[in-house]
Amino acid sequence: MVKEECKALLDALNKVAACYRHMVLTIGGTADSQNLREELRKTRQKAQELAVANRNKLTGVLKDRTVSKEDKAEFERLWVIFSTCMEILEVDMRRALELGHEFPLNVPKKHLIQTGMSGGTSGVAARAMSVQNMKYEAEHNIDVVDLKDLEKEINQVGEMMYEMEMKVNVPHWTVEAKQDPGAELKSTVSMGASSMGMISVEENKSFCDISKVLAGVIFSAVLIIAIVLAVCVVKLS
């Protein structure tokens, strides 16, 4: 069904935009590296591909006059979500350009900001690119080389958005959100379970977890008491 396909494409774009933002956050900090810049580049290109796919699909549907009214309203809602996503992506790309210029990586005099982040962003990038592991194959000065491409891509995105605005006539204010305030909490039940699962997996890795130690101590104490009682019972009977 066309609706499902559109939704899936939009979800994918949304995911990539979130991951991209997450990575732009890290530029200029101590977790910044050539790998990060390469990840940014790859994510950005993926985002653009998805954006073009989304645009083509949605414009195709919106131009189609045989679509029913409810469907059309739904597609307009998807269109508004899509254009907002593109706006966020464009702003993040501009910021990435600015930050990239300010924090070049191979200049010894320019220090990176000590933000407290020490881990890498390869997990985020892998999520964005929908792969298991990221492969890094770029040159050692990608941070400088990439900026020119980034500029071009920003212009491209800007033009695309302008075209979108001109060609498709969907006034944003006519779209009503489906979600009520607080809707994001409803699905947190499933989210909460998965997040708990993640946290417990992590905590197993660290040895000095006080709560687990306490639980272990109490359990073993109870066990010892039970054994003692059983022995007494056996002895006295």
Asked whether position 97 contacts another protein by CB under 8 A, the answer is yes
Nearest to 111 by CA among 23, 27, 30: 30
Among 44-52, 58-66, 197-205, 226-234, which window interacts with another protein (CB under 8 A)? 197-205
Among 58-66, 178-186, 217-225, 228-236, which window interacts with another protein (CB under 8 A)? 178-186
Asked whether position 99 contacts another protein by CB under 8 A, the answer is yes
Asked whether position 5 contacts another protein by CB under 8 A, the answer is no
Amino acid at 209: D
Asked whether position 56 contacts another protein by CB under 8 A, the answer is no
Distance in Å, CB of 133 to another protein, minimum: 12
Contact 67, 73 (CB under 8 A): no
Can you read off the two tokens belonging to residue 28?
A: 């200029």
Distance in Å, CB of 169 to another protein, minimum: 14
Nearer to another protein, 2 or 112 (CB): 112
Which one among 63, 172, 196, 225 touches another protein, defined by CB under 8 A?
172
- Main-chain dihedrals φ then ψ at residue 196, nearest 5 degrees: -60, -40
Amino acid at 18: A
Can you read off the two tokens belonging to residue 207?
A: 């040895």
Q: What SS3 string covers 148-194? A: HHHHHHHHHHHHHHHHHHHHCCCCHHHCCCCCCCCHHHHCHHHHHHH
Nearer to another protein, 93 or 142 (CB): 93
Coil, strand or helix at 113: strand
Nearer to another protein, 53 or 175 (CB): 175
- Subset of residues 139 to 158 that bind another protein, contact rule: CB under 8 A: 151, 154-155, 158
Between CA 91 and CA 147, with CA 25 as vertex, the angle to 5 degrees is 60
Can you read off the two tokens belonging to residue 217?
A: 């101590």
Nearer to another protein, 177 or 229 (CB): 177
Asked whether position 182 contacts another protein by CB under 8 A, the answer is yes
| Helices (runs of H) and strands (runs of E) counted in the chain | 8, 0
HSE value, Cβ hemisphere, 13 Å, CA-based, for 184: 0
Nearer to another protein, 70 or 237 (CB): 70
Nearest to 51 by CA among 173, 134, 164: 164
- Contact characters 100-139, another protein, x per CB under 8 A: -xxx------xxxxxxxxxx-x-xx-xxx-----------
Which one among 53, 67, 73, 80 touches another protein, defined by CB under 8 A?
80
